Amino acid sequence: MFRKVTFILLFAGLLTVTFSCNGYQKLLKSSNNELKYETAIDLYEKGNFNKALQFFDILRAVHRGTPKGELITYYTANCYFQLKDYNIASYYYKQYTQLYPRGEHVKEAAFTSAYCNYLDSPRSSLDQTSTYTALKELQNYIDMYPNDSKVEEATKLMDDLRDKLEVKDYNIAKLYYNMDSYQAAITSFENLLDDYPDTDYQEEILYYITKAYYKYAEKSIYTKKKDRYEKTVESYNNLLQLYPESKFLKEVGNISDDARKQLN
């Protein structure tokens, strides 16, 4: 008896699912946009974001520029955000701010568009297009809403992104050094000091600059050696002045001494 009841319940459930699927497909193809809208909102509120998107994709053009269109665009962005498709979510949040600049959710959409790019930003060794986009959008948000409650969070997100770019630039400079591309390494390390004056890598950067100038001088033609040995000594002195207890001083001190001899 129990097995029979269980079978009946399972069969009834299967029929309900099948009917629901068929019903949704028929509704999607129908001309009843009001029922589509009500169904889409209901699906969204129940957390069925994939299915809700099927209706929102149809209804956005139908209700463009209307209060319903505003809500549909906002909910579309939220659906993609919940599905962790941050690239597309950012697109629709940005579209919301463009189509509905006076909309109820415009500040939230502006921030979340930038936040999506922040979440989409990959590790430092990969392409940083999303990182630069996020930085630009976060700055735009701060400029537009300087007194908003999320400005502090936006600033922290920007700091995180800049740290990632700093790591990437530092690793690129080290790569040039390890490849014996000393001129490129020197330029990259010096740009790091200009771009990130408070960098935590300053000690290491000065160390690498000193070594790079010395090795660059060794490989240079005679007329270029003097200037590059002088730069070696100058870089060592900068390291000594800023980090008198540096673990690198003994190694680069020997290099600086040899560079001085070459200048005599």
- The domain of 66 spans 32-164
| Residue 147 backbone dihedrals phi, psi, to 5 degrees | -105, 10
Q: pTM for this structure?
A: 0.81
Domain boundary among 110, 139, 164: 164
- Diameter over CA atoms, the chain: 105
- Reference 228, options 251, 264, 262; nearest CA is 262
Helix-then-strand count for the chain, H and E: 12, 0
Are 113 and 142 members of one domain? yes
Q: Total domain count for the chain?
A: 2
Domain boundary among 136, 164, 192: 164
Are 264 and 234 members of one domain? yes
Q: pLDDT tens digits for the chain (264 residues)?
A: 444 444 334 434 433 433 355 677 887 777 788 998 999 999 999 999 999 999 999 999 999 999 999 999 999 999 999 999 999 999 999 999 999 999 999 999 999 999 999 999 999 989 999 999 999 999 999 999 999 999 999 999 999 999 999 999 999 999 999 999 999 999 999 999 999 999 999 999 999 999 999 999 999 998 899 999 999 999 999 999 999 999 999 999 999 999 999 998
Domain CATH for 104: 1.25.40.10
Are 157 and 104 members of one domain? yes
Are 64 and 137 members of one domain? yes
Q: Which residues contact 158 (CB under 8 A, 6 or more apart)?
A: 135, 138, 139
Are 44 and 155 members of one domain? yes
Are 240 and 158 members of one domain? no
Are 138 and 235 members of one domain? no
**Which residue type does 44 have?**
Y
For residue 16, being part of any structural domain is answered with no
